[in-house]
Amino acid sequence: MTSKTCIPSGNIELMQTMMASVDVSLARLMRQLHIQTDEPGLEIIDFLRLQEAFALEVGDESWHMSKRPLLPGTNDYVLASLGHCQHLNDALKQLALSYNVIHGGNYNQAELSERHLEYIIDDREFPYLSDARSEYIQFNLESVLLYVHGIICALLPDKPHIPLLKIYSRAPATKHTLLQSVLNATPIKSEASCYALRYANTVASEPLDWQRIGTLTSAKVYSELQRRIIAPSGDQQHQDFLEKVRQAINSDYRSQDAVADYLGCSGATLRRKLAEYQTSFRAVKEQVLDHQAKTLLSAQLAIEDVALALGFSDVRSFNRAFKSWNGLTPKEYSLTKRKNASQLS
């Protein structure tokens, strides 16, 4: 796929409706994430970052659809559990096991046969909330399949072709579904009995080079998925640079000079490229730290520990920064999230 915008407007409208149903503004999240587009669609990486921001906003990575809310940071926690796996098949089995433990049921499976390696999600008995709309559930599960494919891409960064043979979805056969829009080179069976990704079994024994993979995070999954799906244009290369800045800050390169050195450019080049995207190093750093802070607070870490983890000199400095980003203190944010979670349960 070579087009700049690969997520069509229909999917964006659905996500906007989902957000509005819980009083979250898509436009506000786009501003917070410095996402700008004159097109009716969105870049895949921006689309996934919006979904992540939505989960953080509502304090639930299941998007308020499960009876067992998933705290923000759950996906990164699951990714960290793959670090001991030596081959792709091992990693997919561990991935399924981790999510099954978290969800409290055997909903995920990784199956290897003589011809295929499959990752299967059977949600027919999943404990959804009674008011969870079917179109939201289908959209969520197709997003999960896309995320799992991104994990596989990130686990095999040097493999030029990932042999994805077929996709199964329980969603009805309609035009411009999420998976049809993004993975349009792969046949999709709609109205299937479960959600699944089917790969050639030759990929199952692919060794995992963790020195090459590095620390596996959602941000890295998104970036690798973007790289695989869209042929880099000038605009895409620019977006990749911005994402690399975010990844560097996420990896604890907190000063402008340190990030520039990490990216192999001068401080002046870093400032110029960020200015071209109508942002600055300070703005990107604050965005990353804000996301990290909300994730840690949602995991119920003490405010003092969050301040220390993010490199603030003291709690007062962290309180001032967080309030300038969000209009409320870390304590107020935590209380609000806990209240929302108790109401949901």
275 contact partners, CB below 8 Å, separation of at least 6:
none
Q: Partners of 168 in the beta sheet?
A: 189, 196
- In this predicted structure, the answer to whether residue 5 has a pLDDT above a threshold of 60 is no
- The helix/strand/coil state of 243 is helix
Encode pLDDT of 194-217 as tens digits: 999 999 999 999 999 999 998 888
| Residue 75 backbone dihedrals phi, psi, to 5 degrees | -60, -45
Structure confidence at residue 60 (pLDDT): 85
129 contact partners, CB below 8 Å, separation of at least 6:
64, 65, 66, 67, 344
Q: How many CB atoms lie within 10 A of CB 148?
A: 22
- The helix/strand/coil state of 42 is strand
206 DSSP assignment: P
Structure confidence at residue 248 (pLDDT): 84
- Using an 8 Å Cβ cutoff, are 26 and 17 in contact? no
- Using an 8 Å Cβ cutoff, are 47 and 30 in contact? no
Encode pLDDT of 29-66 as tens digits: 988 887 876 666 687 778 888 988 898 888 888 888 88
Q: How do beta strands 195-200 and 188-189 pair?
A: unpaired
- Using an 8 Å Cβ cutoff, are 51 and 62 in contact? no
- In this predicted structure, the answer to whether residue 2 has a pLDDT above a threshold of 60 is no
| Residue 76 backbone dihedrals phi, psi, to 5 degrees | -65, -35
Calculate helix-pair angle for 315-326, 281-298, nearest 10 degrees: 100
Q: Which helix (H) or strand (E) holds 317?
A: helix 315-326
- Average pLDDT for residues 316-344, to the nearest whole number? 79
- pTM for the whole thing? 0.74
CA–CA separation, 122 and 139 (whole Å)? 15
Specify the higher pLDDT residue, 229 or 106: 106
Structure confidence at residue 218 (pLDDT): 86
